[in-house]
Amino acid sequence: MILPSLVNYVISPYYIHASDNQGQVYVSDILRDGNYGEWMSCNAMVIGWLKSAMDKEVRGTVRYAKTAREIWVVLEERFGKESSPRVYEIRRAITVLRQEKMTMLAYYTKLKGLWEEIQSISPLPKYVCKDDAFGTVKTQILSTKPTPSLGNAYHLVAEDEQQKQISASRKPMVEAKTFQMG
């Protein structure tokens, strides 16, 4: 069964298929001394790709661009700036995010996605730990010098969670044995 979100992902104009790779040749003659002019057809192809992935109004702002580079510069100027409202939204999402019934992996993936998005918009200090997010392992993470990467912090939290699950699964067996003896 194909999930609806996967379908949206695959039909996105930004989707790169497994068969699309950097080694794939889209032109019959590779760039070398003397054939730069022929590569303008490649520029036209990239311009076409870019414009086909744009909203009509955005496309209008790059209508007269002669090179793909000009389009990228315009897009960077327009969309590449820090967006205070979006930064606020992401910070709020990080603040209110709770693991609740999510697996540790799902929680980590969600948190990492938010961190990566905010880092791309507005670089922040690397680490923020919420009191209730990481429990007892928080002190270990914060006291480690240098501060561990997000991936290493995830590993520590995941190990702590596994240990708690193992401990929780053993407790009922010990209590059951106690009742049998009495």
End-to-end distance of the chain based on CA atoms, in angstroms? 53
The answer to whether residues 97 and 43 belong to one domain is no
50 pLDDT band (50/70/90 cuts)?
very high
Decide which of 80, 98, 123 is a domain's last residue.
Answer: 80
The answer to whether residues 177 and 88 belong to one domain is yes
Task: Assess if residue 15 is contained within a domain.
Answer: no
The answer to whether residues 88 and 128 belong to one domain is yes
The answer to whether residues 171 and 90 belong to one domain is yes
Task: Assess if residue 94 is contained within a domain.
Answer: yes
Share of the chain above pLDDT 90, in %: 24
The answer to whether residues 153 and 103 belong to one domain is yes
Question: Structural domain tally of the chain?
Answer: 2
- For residue 126, the enclosing domain spans 84-181
Structure confidence by residue, pLDDT tens digits, 63-76: 999 999 999 988 88
Q: What is the dihedral of CA 129, 134, 139, 143, to 10 degrees?
A: -60
The answer to whether residues 104 and 31 belong to one domain is no
Distance (Å, whole) CA 33 – CA 54:
34
The answer to whether residues 69 and 147 belong to one domain is no
Distance (Å, whole) CA 168 – CA 174:
11
Of the listed ranges 39-43, 56-60, 72-76, 99-103, the one predicted with least confidence: 39-43
34 pLDDT band (50/70/90 cuts)?
confident
With 0-12 / 13-18 / 19 or more C-beta atoms within 10 angstroms meaning exposed / middle / buried, residue 84 is exposed
Decide which of 80, 111, 143 is a domain's last residue.
Answer: 80
| Overall average pLDDT of the 46-64 stretch | 91
The answer to whether residues 69 and 98 belong to one domain is no
The answer to whether residues 151 and 90 belong to one domain is yes
Task: Assess if residue 6 is contained within a domain.
Answer: no
Structure confidence by residue, pLDDT tens digits, 142-166: 777 787 777 777 777 777 777 777 7
Distance (Å, whole) CA 16 – CA 9:
10
Q: Taking Cα atoms as reference points, which of 79, 70, 30 lies closest to residue 50?
A: 70
Total Cβ atoms within 10 A of residue 111: 20
Task: Assess if residue 140 is contained within a domain.
Answer: yes
Q: How far is CA 164 from CA 14, 158, 159, 161, 168, in A?
A: 41, 10, 9, 5, 6
The answer to whether residues 92 and 130 belong to one domain is yes
Task: Assess if residue 8 is contained within a domain.
Answer: no
The answer to whether residues 167 and 126 belong to one domain is yes
Q: Which two tokens stand for residue 157?
A: 């939290």
Task: Assess if residue 22 is contained within a domain.
Answer: no
